Structure 1
């Protein structure tokens, strides 16, 4: 399951995986996020917060995840990976080559720092 919190006024989305990600998780996330992007033109950022990366429950879920990234990365200014998983550092290193948004890794306990970076560039 993917918990999605949308702060439309600030253009901030918080994604918190709770267990292996499913194909449907990304469709539901897009349904919540797309109207905000449509209204504002972009998001200030997305925070992906999880202590450890849960993976996907199927190949279809991985494909949906990649499609979600492809369809949304140009509409997001910053992406913060807030996790103690090594995936956060990997995502920052690799993502910066393929995603137009700025990407930064924070430890799980640095949520507020990630939020300030997304909203204020601190």
Structure 2
């Protein structure tokens, strides 16, 4: 399941994976995100709270995740990844080749600075 929360008048989306991700998770998230993007335009930011990231339930779920990223990355200006997992600290360098958004890692104690960075004009 992916829990989500909107900040700053639906300009910043926070997502929090709760358990292994499934295909249905991305369909549900898409149903929440697409109407907002259609009505209001691109998102200022996406905050990924990956503290409890447990991977994907299946290869099909990973493919659904990749499709979601492919279809939405151009509609997001910045992505903040909040996690203390060392591997996720390297994520910005890995995903820079695949997304147009600026991506930055933050530790769990820097949740508020991550949210503030997403809200900055730029």
TM-score range, shorter chain: over 0.9
**Structure 1: runs of 5 or more not aligned:** none
Q: TM-score, normalised by structure 1?
A: 0.93
Residue 12 (structure 1) shift: 0.6
Counterparts of 1:55 and 1:79 in 2: how far apart (Å)?
Answer: 19
Provide the secondary structure at the position in 1 that maps to 2:69.
helix
Aligned-pair Cα RMSD in Å: 1.6
**Structure 2: runs of 5 or more not aligned:** none
| Structure 1 ranges of 4+ moved more than 4 A | none
Q: TM-score, normalised by structure 2?
A: 0.93
After TM superposition, list the pairs within 5 Å mapping 1:7-46 onto structure 2.
7=7, 9-46=9-46
Residue 96 (structure 1) shift: 1.4
Give the aligned length: 122
Counterpart residue number, 1:55? 55
Counterparts of 2:24 and 2:17 in 1: how far apart (Å)?
Answer: 13
Residue 88 (structure 1) shift: 2.1
Q: 4-13 vs 77-86, which deviates more?
A: 4-13
2:18 touches 2:52 (CA, 8 Å); kept in 1? no
Residue 51 (structure 1) shift: 1.6
Which of the pair is proportionally richer in helix? 1
